[in-house]
Structure 1
Amino acid sequence: MNNIAEQLGLAYHNLNEKCSALAIVANKPLLLAVSKTKPSSAIASAYLAGQRHFGENYPQELAEKAAALQQYRDIVWHFIGPLQSNKTKLVAEHAHWVHSIDRLKIAQRLAAQRPETMPALKVLLQINISNEASKAGIAATEMLALADEISQLGTLELKGLMAIPAPGQSETAFAAMQTLSIKLQKKYPNATELSMGMSDDWPQALRYGATMIRLGTAIFGARDYDKE
């Protein structure tokens, strides 16, 4: 527990230092602790150290952890991985945010399966900003069309954009994402979130308006990929 608490404290220290250097005073970016493949006990340690927002990549793992940690009622679960249509129900029932909307079918299923007792599911459109064939996400040119469709789904709330740039292309990609975010906000003023930046490039992301950064190994250590 102490190691996770120390690493979490260091991550926040580094974030605050960078925000100060960039004169980001109000609306500091949200630090999302990416807990995929990590046990519920590790999440509990981070929670007890003050962390509330956690990111998961796999629907079944999200559901299991949400159940195991249900006593921590103020945990906010972010689903950040690719989502198949046969797994949307698990995410609709347990997530507060979904960062990886890349087609209308997934959005429609999430909307239909969202329990009536839960608030609207906050969603981000994933942009394939580096145009990688192996990456999920929509083309930038499809952004407004998908946003228009999602805006009609009453149990979803469009909140912004997410991207994972190709290695070595972070700065160019982040600049392009900032431009897209501004364009989206002109039509949807509440879609202000920009989820981008991970352990190796989050300082660059802050310079281009990131409102959420996603850190995993910096907080929890190396992942156990045998669990993936």
Structure 2
Amino acid sequence: MTNIANNLEIVRSQINVACQNAQRSTETVTLLAVSKTRPADELRAAYTQGQLDFGENYLQESLEKIEQLQDLEICWHFIGPIQSNKTRPIAESFNWVHSVDRLKVAQRLSAQRPDQLPPLNICLQINISGEESKSGILPEQLPELASQVLQLPNIQLRGLMAIPASSEDPQQQRRPFARMRELLQQLQLNHPDHSELDTLSMGMSGDMDAAIAEGASIVRIGTAIFGARVYSK
């Protein structure tokens, strides 16, 4: 568990440097620890080091961890693909959902969010690089879907999420992130009454600096914190 503490310190330092280079306050970037396949005790160890936000991809696994760690004030983010028939436990158990790409899913999350809970924060996933293997809507589909989602009760549209095509070139990395920033800015112009439209969930271990330079407000980091993922056979 000492490794987790050390790794968190390194990642936070990298975020601080990236923010300084971008002339941004470090308080404008949230570190989301991607904890899929990691056991609950590792999340607890990260929590003791001040990590409050955790991102999960697999529903059944995440529900078990939420149950095991219910004594902690964790902010749970669902970041994986969403099947329509799995929306109820997501709506009931998570604080954020980053991977909404269909009106039907948004409608179900809205209808199934318990009334006693605050609105569910959601991001619309954009397939910013147009890859057939990736989930998400195309940029030109965003205005219509966003307008529809903003009318739904019990959920709060906070912004956009993307996983661009990988690149080792920092300048190449920045282009899709810059496009994401432009899409969010246009969304804000189109909906000036919605001040909560403030989130860009983008950037992982290999392209975090480029994402922060272009305005990321949530960066999703997994292996740099927890080490290589362990997948069950």
Q: Does TM, normalized by the shorter one, top 0.5?
A: yes
| Structure 1 residue 37, shift from structure 2 partner | 0.5
Provide closer, same or farther for how the CA distance between residues 108 and 215 of structure 1 changes in structure 2, counting only shifts above 3 A.
Answer: same
- CA distance in 2: counterparts of 1:26 and 1:190, whole angstroms: 19
> Which of 168, 171, 185 lines up with 2:174 in the alignment?
171
Residues 127-147 of structure 1, C-alpha deviations (whole Å, 9 max, x = no match)? 000111111000101111111
| Structure 1 residue 28, shift from structure 2 partner | 2.4
AA aligned opposite 1:151? L
More off after superposition, 186-195 vs 122-131: 186-195
Matches within 5 A, 1:1-228: 1-25=1-25, 27-72=27-72, 74-168=73-167, 170-188=173-191, 189-226=195-232
SS across alignment from 2:97: strand
- CA distance in 1: counterparts of 2:110 and 2:132, whole angstroms: 28
AA aligned opposite 1:136? S
| Structure 1 residue 86, shift from structure 2 partner | 1.2
| Structure 1 residue 26, shift from structure 2 partner | 6.3
8 Å contact from structure 2 (residues 18, 213) kept in 1: no
- CA distance in 2: counterparts of 1:136 and 1:50, whole angstroms: 32
Residues 74-131 of structure 1, C-alpha deviations (whole Å, 9 max, x = no match)? 2000111110011111111111000001000101111111111111000000000011
List, as ranges, runs of 4+ consecutive aligned residues in structure 1 with deviation greater than 4 Å: none
SS across alignment from 1:124: strand
- CA distance in 2: counterparts of 1:159 and 1:187, whole angstroms: 14
- CA distance in 2: counterparts of 1:22 and 1:170, whole angstroms: 15
- CA distance in 1: counterparts of 2:18 and 2:212, whole angstroms: 8
SS across alignment from 1:126: strand
| Structure 1 residue 3, shift from structure 2 partner | 1.1
- CA distance in 2: counterparts of 1:170 and 1:112, whole angstroms: 37
SS across alignment from 1:108: helix
Give identity over the alignment, percent: 50
AA aligned opposite 2:53? H
| Structure 1 residue 67, shift from structure 2 partner | 0.7
| Structure 1 residue 27, shift from structure 2 partner | 4.0
For structure 1, the residue ranges without an aligned partner over 5 or more in a row are none
SS across alignment from 1:161: strand
RMSD over aligned Cα, in angstroms? 1.2
8 Å contact from structure 2 (residues 177, 214) kept in 1: yes
Residues 17-68 of structure 1, C-alpha deviations (whole Å, 9 max, x = no match)? 2212222126421010000000001000000111000000111122111111
AA aligned opposite 2:209? P
| Structure 1 residue 226, shift from structure 2 partner | 2.7
For structure 2, the residue ranges without an aligned partner over 5 or more in a row are none
TM-score, with normalisation over the residues of structure 1?
A: 0.96
